[in-house]
Amino acid sequence: MKIKEIISVLEEMAPLAYAEDFDNVGLLVGDQETEATGVLVCHDALENIIEEAISKKCNLVVCFHPILFSGLKKITGKNYVERAVIKAIKNDIAIYAVHTALDNHQEGVNKIFCDALGLINTKVLIPKQHFIRKLVTYTIPENAEEVRNALFDAGAGMIGNYENCSFNSKGIGTYMGNEHSNPQVGERFEFVQGDEIKIEVTFEKHLENKILKALFKSHAYEEIAYEIYDLQNKHQNIGLGMIGELKNPMKEKEFLLFAKEKMQADGIRHSNFIGKEVKKIAVLGGAGSFAIKNAIQAGADVFLTADLKYHQFYEAENQLLLADIGHFESERYTKNYIVEYLRKKILNFAVILSEENSNPVKYL
């Protein structure tokens, strides 16, 4: 099995198109054509992780955080990033990062966070915008079902919890072919007027090439008329953060102690207690201060995230309880999820969970 085949599985789990624009995801180091010897899954691809991969005969390291986030002008080994990259290159070890591609997935980081807390009725906190497009095309009635099914098979027509969604309307189409044409209906230089079906379907923007390939393959016409539009609709199943509910309400302090235990945190920094029972919980793995207003607008009683600064705790405004559980802690089970996913998809192949704890934050 080549590394690129494992990458295909990883991109089924966390499509790179889901990642934020600022992020650096995908294959960061290595050659995808190399035969894979084993996969080591970790949180951060540090130098000691590369050493672990060497000792366990794994030539692909799948990490959550990208070790290469911004550009390197020199690779001299003067810092932890450069040392990890040098060691990986010297030992022919590839590094692949998922980061916000998995953050934004409905079964990704924040769903894992919610599941660890036992939250129910979960939904995305900040649905992704500018991600949905619409295809409009026209064909003869006899060809409409074939075109629709081909588009559905390519991934079009997904709306929330529904699939195979389309809108179809009848109309009259006209055309006249020139001397180079080969019309499906009518003859060259003949003005043709006939029944047509207008088909409209939505799709996620990263599927556009696949959608168009299916359209061209299934369509009866020699020249295919189609239009593609960007939609303003938010994608309710893709986005950052998540909000859900506790099965049973808890007192604020009780909940924080519960979260501390479930996420194996050594401490939680929090804003003032409001003095009410909490039930609706918003979470965002990693640095989530930008989503405080979203959590308030969603009616959360608690917003559990990481990397909050001093003045940001004031933004709770006595409307909810803000709690900083720690960056690593909020994402701690992500690597376990990746391992379980790969083991289900790739049988009889070594997929190993790293034994190294890469959390750089320590507590007394």
Q: Residue 123: what pLDDT?
A: 96
85 in the same domain as 138: no
95 token code pair: 């590094």
- Pair (327, 337) in one structural domain: no
Residues 49 and 183 in one domain: no
Domain containing residue 221: CATH number: 3.30.70.120
Q: Give the number of C-alpha atoms closer than 13 A to the C-alpha of residue 155, restricted to the C-beta side.
A: 14
AA identity, residue 185: V
Do residues 26 and 60 lie in contact, with contact meaning Cβ atoms separated by under 8 Å? no
Residue-wise pLDDT tens digits, 250-277: 999 999 999 999 999 999 999 999 999 9
pLDDT of residue 1: 92
Give backbone dihedrals phi and psi of 264, rounded to 5 degrees, phi first: 55, 45
Q: Which residues are annotated as a binding site?
A: 65, 103, 327, 331
321: Cβ–Cβ under 8 A, 6 or more apart, which residues?
252, 256, 270, 271, 272, 273, 274, 278, 301, 302, 303
pLDDT of residue 183: 86
Cα of first residue to Cα of last residue in the chain, in angstroms, is: 45
145 lies in some domain: yes
Q: Which helix (H) or strand (E) holds 327?
A: helix 327-330
- Please tell me whether residues 149 and 222 are part of one structural domain: yes
Q: Are residues 199 and 348 in the same domain?
A: no
| Tokens matching residue 213 | 């390939």
360 is a domain residue: no
- Reported as a single tens digit per residue, the pLDDT across 16-38 is 999 999 999 999 999 999 999 99
In this structure, is residue 18 part of a structural domain? Answer: yes
Which of these, 340, 286, 301, lies nearest to 44 by C-alpha position? 286
Q: What span, in angstroms and rounded, lies between the C-alpha atoms of 217 and 147?
A: 9
111 with 169, same domain: the answer is no
Domain boundary among 231, 256, 291: 231
- Residues at the annotated binding site for a divalent metal cation? 65, 103, 327, 331
* Domain annotation covers residue 32: yes
Is residue 257 domain-shared with residue 281, that is, in the same domain? yes
Tokens 């009780």, residue?
A: 254
Q: 60 phi and psi, to 5 degrees?
A: -135, 120
- Given this model, what pLDDT does residue 184 score? 77
Nearest to residue 95, comparing CAs of 3, 33, 22? 3
- Number of domains the chain contains: 3
Question: What CATH number should be reported for the domain holding residue 296?
Answer: 3.40.1390.30
- Among 231, 247, 282, the domain boundary falls at 231
Is residue 75 located within the same domain as residue 46?
A: yes
**Cα dist from 269 to 151, 278, 321, 324, whole Å:** 49, 17, 11, 5
Q: What is the pLDDT of residue 301?
A: 98
The neighbour count for residue 261, using CB atoms within 10 Å, is 9
Query: Do both 259 and 320 map to the same domain?
Result: yes
189-226: pLDDT as tens digits: 999 899 999 999 999 999 999 999 999 999 999 899 99
3-state helix, strand, coil in the chain (%, to 5): 30, 30, 40
- Same domain as 325, residue 348: no
pLDDT at 72: 87
Q: Of 172, 205, 231, at which residue does a domain stop?
A: 231
Is residue 364 domain-resident? no
Instruction: Please report, as a single letter, which amino acid is at residue 183.
Output: P
pTM reported for the whole predicted model: 0.89
Evaluate whether residue 358 is within a structural domain.
no
pLDDT at position 71 is 82
The confidence score (pLDDT) of residue 108 equals 96
pLDDT of residue 132: 95
- pLDDT means over runs of 10, the chain (364 residues): 96 94 96 97 97 98 95 92 97 98 96 98 95 96 97 94 96 92 86 94 95 97 94 93 98 98 96 96 97 98 98 97 97 97 95 94 91
> Is residue 363 a part of any domain in this protein?
no
Quick one: which of 194, 298, 207, 206 has its CA closest to 245? 298
Residue 291 shares a structural domain with residue 312: yes
Residue 109: C-alpha distances to residues 49, 93, 250, 304, 325 (Å): 21, 25, 24, 13, 15
Do 323 and 337 have their domain in common?
no
Question: For residue 326, how many C-alpha atoms fall within 13 Å in the half-sphere facing its CB?
Answer: 18
- Neighbour-count burial for 131-166, b at 16+ CB within 10 Å, e otherwise: bbbbbebbbbeebbeebbebbbebbbbbbeeeeeeb
CA distances from 362 to 129, 183, 204, 252, 324 (A): 37, 72, 41, 25, 15
For residue 209, the enclosing domain spans: 131-231
Quick check: is 361 in a domain?
no
